Structure 1
Amino acid sequence: MTKIEEKTGVGTAIVRLSVNLAADAMDTLRWLANRRGLSLTETIRRAITVLKFIEDEVDKGNKLAVVETDANGQERVREILLVA
């Protein structure tokens, strides 16, 4: 269940959002926030920004990849496949 309340003021509208998350998803969100010293709200904002970037790149026909470096300094590229 999601609850959304919008507040408008000077500049950007602020939306209050209530979302139900599974315990493991909440644990991950807290871990991410603590790792960077961020609030849960800022962590969610950043996650949305990253997902938007990924979607934009895929829409342009670009591929996403991870470049791994092994102990010898050799690089290996792995493509990231997104499931709809």
Structure 2
Amino acid sequence: MTLNEIAAQMQRGLDKHPLAETIKFDCGTDGAITLEDGKALTEDRPAQCTIHISEKNLSKLIAGNLNPVAAFAMGKIKVSGDMTLAMKLGQLLG
């Protein structure tokens, strides 16, 4: 999945479960997706919570092929900022 495809899937989740906070998925040199004002933007913007994850692992996470807790424990996901916001992502990914 490309970042644009991942963002489109996240947008469907945001349409069902709006998010008031700003969360960014930082995929390093592959780019970023920022969830802001009810939109999934393929832009690197300031956020209250930043999730550092490779594009490959983000694609697996969105597809349900990567357990977020296990990925965090194995260092495949790193979170900076407000950790409690990362916990809200289950509603978007579900």
Establish whether TM, by shorter chain, passes 0.5: no
Query: Computing the radius of gyration over CA atoms, which structure comes out larger, 1 or 2?
Result: 1
Structure showing the higher helix proportion among its residues: 2
If asked which structure has higher relative contact order (CA below 8 Å, sep 6+), I would say 2
- TM class by shorter chain equals under 0.3
